[in-house]
Amino acid sequence: MKIPIYQVDAFAKEPFEGNPAAVCPLDEWLPDELMQQIAMENNLSETAFFVPQDNGFRLRWFTPTTEVNLCGHATLASAHVLFEHLDYDRDTIQFNSKSGELSVQKKGARLVMNFPTAQLNKAETSSFLEKAVGITASECYRDTDYLYVVETEEQIRNLNPDIRSMTKADVRGIIVTAPGEEYDFVSRFFAPNAGVDEDPVTGSAHTMLTPYWSSRLGKKKLVGRQVSRRGGMVYCHQKGDRVEISGEACTVMQGQIVV
């Protein structure tokens, strides 16, 4: 069996920036175990698989160790593959996923994803979290992830978290964020429980970051920078119970998996 595969740098204007994702277009579903093995073989933070369905596509995402309910950068990468390589000729792609309906619209060089907004549930800053992150938070919230707010961009850039301690968290991951010097906010994202010690650029984390910074800064449209080693730009628009998350993407590899 030969399975097409693309590797796409999402939230990137040029190759080797942003967050790499693998994308496998399918005519029909492979066994779950095989998709997980392919994701483990790719050893990227996410591998996306999609199958045509009604007027859109069913989309699933796998880290090297587990399937996840929502992934932003691999959704962006999947839309990029459809628009740039598979001759998708409509302006908007409809994806059905474990997180419900997701749409991606092409607007110039950017792809605009429409995702459900996460909840900002106030949380206590536990000693466990402080030890894991390595600095004290000014605020902390919880949903699928922890949103851990600190004072300065410098603190974010200089973080040296205890990844092993982070595995004790009973959530997917930990978002650490602060006001930006050139951008509205900066962030980093750590998810060792999902097999990803640090994710380069995390679209789904911005479903929490956007409502928080929109409320704090009093503006609906924001520009965020995830300041991992690769780094990437994320353009955000708070729209009630939905959030638009936008970025660019570029293909860096194309080939086949032989199984």
Rounded to the nearest angstrom, the gap between the alpha carbon of residue 131 and the centroid of all alpha carbons in its chain is 25
Burial profile 23-58: b = 16 or more Cβ within 10 angstroms, e = fewer: bbbbeeebeeeebbebbeebebbbbbbbeeeeebbb
Among residues 218, 252, 210, which one has the least CA distance to residue 234? Answer: 210
Mean pLDDT across the stretch 31-40?
98
pLDDT tens-digit series, residues 143-179: 999 999 999 999 999 999 999 999 988 899 999 999 9
Of 139-148, 189-198, 209-218, minimum mean pLDDT range: 189-198
Contact (CB, 8 A) for 9 and 17: yes
The two tokens of residue 22 are 């693998």
What is the CATH T-level fold of the domain 121-240, as seen in this structure? Answer: Diaminopimelate Epimerase; Chain A, domain 1 (3.10.310)
Partners of 27 in the beta sheet?
none
Among residues 221, 225, 177, 179, which one has the least CA distance to residue 200? Answer: 225
Q: Using the predicted structure, report yes or no on whether residue 251 has a pLDDT greater than 90.
A: yes
Rounded to the nearest angstrom, the gap between the alpha carbon of residue 19 and the centroid of all alpha carbons in its chain is 8
Burial of 215 (0-12, 13-18, 19+ CB in 10 A): exposed
CATH code of the region 2-117+245-258: 3.10.310.10
Characterise 43 by phi-psi region: left (phi > 0), alpha (psi -120 to 50), beta (else): left
Compute how many other C-beta atoms are within 10 angstroms of the C-beta atom of residue 251.
16
Q: Which of 33, 41, 46, 124 is catalytic?
A: 46
- Report the Cα–Cα distance between both ends of the chain, in Å, rounded: 5
**Residue 46 is among the residues annotated as catalytic for this protein:** yes
Mean pLDDT across the stretch 110-136?
93
Contact (CB, 8 A) for 210 and 186: no
pLDDT tens-digit series, residues 226-246: 999 999 999 999 999 999 999
Q: Do domains 2-117+245-258 and 121-240 have the same CATH topology?
A: yes
Please give the single-letter amino acid code of residue 193.
N
User: What is the domain partition of the chain in residue ranges?
Assistant: 2-117+245-258, 121-240
What percent of the chain clears pLDDT 90, i.e. is strictly above it? Answer: 93
Q: Using the predicted structure, report yes or no on whether residue 20 has a pLDDT greater than 90.
A: yes
